[in-house]
Chains A and B, each alone.
Chain A
Amino acid sequence: MARIISFSKALNEAMTQEMERDENVFILGEDVAKMGGDFGITTGIWERWPNRAFDTALSESAITGLCCGASVCGLRPVAELMFADFITVCYDQLVNNAAKLNYMYQGEASAQMVVRAVTGGGIRCAYHHSQCIEPWLMNIPGLVIVAPATPYEAKGLLVASIRNNNPVVFLEHKHLYNVKGEVPEELYEIPLYEAHVEREGTDITIVAAMSMLKFAQKAADEMAAKGISVEIINPRTIFPLDKETIKESVAKTGRLIVVQEGPKVMGYGAEIGAMLGEELFEYLKAPIKRVTSLDTPVPFAPGMEDYVLPHYEDVITACNEVMAY
């Protein structure tokens, strides 16, 4: 039975139902237990399972290190990083421990952990709480980066992430927490590593993840009114990327726009563009376009922040440019 619930509630449900199903699952993080999390995502869990929900010290490094150790012991930790930006202080644990564990122990142990990290800008949180961190991790084979865009995906992908034996960094965009959508009540999984074709079209492919998906959908509507058919691909798992779905789409349309919230330099848009340049060059009808933030830190001043983040109008401009080429 599907009902309309928020992205936050969907996440909470995923964790609760997985904890009911598998006693090895537990949560930890700053204020995730008694307070229910800074964003209220873990509300009610500590009350039900006081021994499986832990408030930690203010040390992301310790949180992630603990996850690695618990994983090796067969548990399935789900940690919360209040802000993904602080992934920098636990980088060593993630990159040199979690991502390598399975290889170092020849598959006998693995970092079967989920690090939920609150990402993205647009809510006036300034430099240290507004960054899109996925490119920092996309160069680390062994890690999995999951990026849901809807409440339905939030639940299904988090369930799949908890069950996955690889270390998963699960990105939750702040802007999406209050978005509501249909979510089945029962437990379900959305497979990782598979992109989703949100909308079929024939003229332009737009790849957009998380909060950028709404830009793509709006642009597709606007372009449809002009007779231009836009196909939208939501990667769902940003790394490793489902290249095949993107390639099939771009082969058909010959035009690609990546809408990515983070800075342009070295974002996943750059990777997708390079991949298509290598593997799909002959199918392209126009240059690949990226709509991104400016290459600058995300400012605090609201006007400045809006200026730096990608604009919906930029998506339309890009559409017109690729069609006019």
Chain B
Amino acid sequence: MSTIIEMPRYGANMDEGTIATWLVTEGESVTKGQAIAEIAIEKLSNELLAPEDGVILKLVGTEGETYDCGTTIAYIGQAGENVEESTSVEIETSNAADTIELSSDATIIVMPRYGANMEEGTVSTWFFSDGDMVEEGDVIAEISIEKLTNELLSPTAGPFYPLVDEGSTVKCGKTIAKIGEGDVAEEGEVVSKCSPSEMDDVITGKKETVSVSADSVETVTSGCSELTPKAKKLADELGVDATMLKGTGYCNMVTREDIKKANAAGALSKAGSTSVPINRKMTAMEKAIAAGMYKSLQETAQTTITMDMDVDNLVAFYKANKTDYAAMGVKLSYTSVIINIVGKALKEYPIMRTIIDGDMFKELTEINIGIAVDIAGGLVVPNIKNADKKFYSAVATELAELANKAKTGKLLENDLIGGSFTITNLGMFGIKYFTPVLNIGESAILGLGAIRKELVAKKGGFLKKKYMSFSLTHDHRVINGAPAARFLNRIQELINEL
């Protein structure tokens, strides 16, 4: 049994490729995964790997020539085998198109492939018998796969001849019937039309002519359309191809919501076809972040503890003061208030700002609290110097300035060095708990979660309270669990005393 090797398809946009070099010769033995050719497509070149162990029987494609994807360019098989024998299994191995035009005007119907995981299907019912005339679109068979049953539609009109019995289980791509009087599968006449990856596109993209999934069958019989009227309008406006979408509305109709999601995903919009993989050089900042994160996790013993803080008092403080501060031109925020609190706590807990330097513990005496800022190019951590000595308004003002400088790329080196502790906030994304990674040169980092309302049982009744989860990552080489926990409890006390 020999196997066809086709011009491969690397990505949906590729229509053809050029054989840059054959890396093997006819008669050469190859092992599965061995590079046998270099295929050039526009600016890229890829290696074509042997699909199995065997001998290269024939190189059909010529170096320097361009072929459509799916075109046979070589045969691989066992030594001494001849290529002609291979054609009878061609369909099976290539999972070729559902229908294959024959020179003699008969159309072959093959076992369709519904989705990438389907390997074989069972013809549970034939709806026509030998010689019956069928019309294009007639349901000719019921195909069962595991738990599903799909209807197979006729691709064309003509006299119909089933070639396998009802109940037969057949591999995808293998002939199961023909339409027309022509002879079937004359060796060498079958022309495979597309590669396996394209096959899936054909099935999903052209289901109205090739096959109808179980869902759509139900849809058709119950009289629902595929899109709601408003979804259709929106799809047209946005240029979204809705034919491949799975509807989530009534009757499995595609809704406006589905179209919006598809548009956001960008995957199916006509303009931007498929998403481009990220293949690019890292920027200097990205390299620094990658190196820093890796170093941090390699060189310290990080562990994270979390605590749900009762922040009723924090919220009350913020609400009571924000207007007054705003009148002074100061933008008070939860983060800024927490920086003040953490500054006080850090002062009382020098262990939280102690690092290992060689074989020495070293206390960082200045309480400079870093704030992780999400910027377009990555992440920066400017710090607020001597946060323990500053008023709420000063911290709030400085925080706003630093964030602004970070976002406009105007941070100075001094803003970034000398940190002794870091605060990072993912609460605005609804994150509750996370495990922040230590900033190099520090022994603790505090992650702030979202403020949330909860009902708590108290004194035989229920009380509505606001909570915020604090995730504290600490270097266990320096800070053990209990001191870290005491530090968090102290923060809770300070919040209560606001």
Contact = CB atoms under 8 A, between A and B. Distances in A.
Nearest to B223: A202
A252 B251 contact: yes
A282 B223 contact: no
A201 B229 contact: no
B265 interface: no
A108 B250 CA distance: 39
Interface string B219-236: 000111100111100000
Contact of B228 (A229, A247, A283): A283
Nearest to B257: A282
Interface string B197-234: 00000000000000000000000001111001111000
Given A201-B223, A202-B223, A282-B228, A252 B256 contact: no
A254 B230 CA distance: 11
Interface string A193-225: 000000011110000000000000000000000
Nearest to B250: A251
Interface string A240-263: 000000011001111000000000
Given A282-B256, A283-B249, A283-B253, A252 B228 contact: no
A281 interface: yes
Contacts of A282: 228-231, 255-256
B224 A284 contact: no
Contact of B249 (A200, A251, A285): A251
B229 A252 contact: no
B229 A229 contact: no
Contacts of A252: 222-224, 250-251
A164 B446 CA distance: 58
Contacts of B225: 254
A254 B229 contact: yes
A199 to B, nearest CB: 13
Contact of B251 (A203, A229, A248, A281): A248
Nearest to B234: A282
A285 B249 CA distance: 15
Interface in B244-259: 249-251, 253, 255-256
Nearest to A252: B224
A228 B221 CA distance: 16
B256 to A, nearest CB: 5
Nearest to A202: B223
Contacts of B256: 282
Nearest to B259: A282
A201 B222 CA distance: 8
B234 to A, nearest CB: 9
Nearest to A244: B250
Nearest to A282: B230
B223 A283 contact: no
Given A251-B249, A251-B251, A283 B229 contact: yes
Contacts of A254: 225, 228-229
A247 B229 contact: no
Contacts of B250: 247-248, 251-252, 280, 283
Nearest to A281: B230
Contacts of B228: 251, 254, 282-283
A324 to B, nearest CB: 15
Which of A248, A251, A281, A285 has the largest number of chain B CB atoms within 10 A? A251
Contacts of A283: 228-230, 249-250, 253
Given A283-B250, A283-B253, A251 B224 contact: yes
A202 B221 CA distance: 10
A280 B256 CA distance: 11
Interface string A313-325: 0000000000000
Candidate in B230, B250, B253, B255 with the most chain A CB atoms within 10 angstroms: B250
B215 to A, nearest CB: 14
Contacts of A202: 222-224
Nearest to A286: B229
Given A252-B224, A253-B223, A282-B229, 12 more contacts: A200-B223, A248-B251, A251-B249, A251-B251, A252-B250, A254-B228, A254-B229, A281-B230, A282-B228, A282-B230, A282-B231, A283-B253
Closest 7 CB pairs of A and B: A202-B223, A251-B250, A282-B230, A283-B228, A282-B228, A252-B224, A282-B256
Interface of A: 200-203, 229, 247-248, 251-254, 280-285
20 contacts: A200-B223, A202-B222, A202-B224, A203-B223, A229-B223, A248-B250, A248-B251, A251-B224, A251-B228, A251-B249, A251-B251, A252-B251, A254-B228, A280-B250, A282-B228, A282-B230, A282-B231, A283-B229, A283-B230, A284-B229
